[in-house]
Structure 1
């Protein structure tokens, strides 16, 4: 069973307490889909399950760093301020400059490191080990793949750790995990609220 690697800066809002069942909601502030399909769902699930499920929102950044940053996360949490493409979407479709579904759950900003820090750390091995059948590769194959991964990340100046180490596909992403950080379920993109609710109820039982 694969592990969820939660690498965050200090929490910007609330307190995350690890429980037997937990859910991480990984999003970007410059991601309209995260606001349309993600935050309202997690807000509602938090209202229903916060007494026995651990909730953590992780605002991340794999692009558009001028929008996806901790300062804009704080503006969202303080008064629903929208930025970038998210602001354009809600302004053009609903005439709104501020978001009404401000996150109620604990939220942190992803840990941001340089590509050099990632490449020269054991975190690069975690990324390699997440590749299917990596342990069965020959030493030569492992070496070649490691070089390719290092070369790829050397071209990216800033690395969001939680997003990168877990090799998430994009945002929004929903990760259900236990108190040992074993991943119980993972979904990327739009998901029905009832589906997540059923999964949480299943793992709680």
Structure 2
């Protein structure tokens, strides 16, 4: 069973306590879909399950680093300040510059590292191990793949660890995991709230 690698900086809001069942919401502040679909759903789930499920929001960055940063996350949490494409969407469609449904669950910013730090650590092995059947590859195949991965990440100056180590598809992403950080479900993009509710109810039963 795959492990969820939660590598964040200190919490900027709330307190995250690992429970038997947990859900992480990975988002970017410059991601309109995260605000349109993700936050309202997570706030609803938090109201319904906060006594039995651990919740954490992880603001990450894999693009648009001038917007997707810890400073803009703090502004969002303080007064709902929007930036970039998210601000453009809400201003154009609703005449708003601030988000009205400010998240109320625990939130932290992803751990940011350089490509050099990542490539010179054992974390690069974690990325390889996510690849299906990697353990069955020949030593030559493993070496070729490792070289390709290192070459790819050497070209990326800023790397967000939670997003990268879990090889997430994009944002918004929702990861359900247990108290040993075993992944119980991964969902990417616009999700039906009832799907996540049903999954959480099932795991808590």
By the TM > 0.5 criterion, same fold? yes
Q: Which residue of 2 aligns with 1:54?
A: 54
TM-score by length of 2: 0.99
Q: Which residue of 2 aligns with 1:17?
A: 17
Distance (whole Å) between structure 2 residues aligned to residue 202 and residue 73 of structure 1: 33
For residues 20-41 of structure 1, the C-alpha deviation after alignment (integer angstroms, 9 at most, x for no partner) is: 0000000000000000010000
Q: Which residue of 2 aligns with 1:36?
A: 36
Q: Which residue of 1 aligns with 2:181?
A: 181
Q: Which residue of 1 aligns with 2:198?
A: 198
1:29 is paired with a residue of what secondary structure? Answer: coil
1:72 positional shift: 0.3
Q: Is there any run of 5+ residues in structure 1 with no aligned partner, and where?
A: none
For residues 13-71 of structure 1, the C-alpha deviation after alignment (integer angstroms, 9 at most, x for no partner) is: 00000000000000000000000010000001001110110000000000001000000
Q: CA RMSD in A?
A: 0.4
1:106 positional shift: 0.1
Alignment of 1:124 onto 2:124? yes
Distance (whole Å) between structure 2 residues aligned to residue 195 and residue 149 of structure 1: 34
Q: Is there any run of 5+ residues in structure 2 with no aligned partner, and where?
A: none
For residues 145-165 of structure 1, the C-alpha deviation after alignment (integer angstroms, 9 at most, x for no partner) is: 000000000000010000000
TM-score by length of 1: 0.99
Aligned residues: 205
Q: Where does structure 1 differ by over 3 angstroms across 4 or more consecutive aligned residues?
A: none
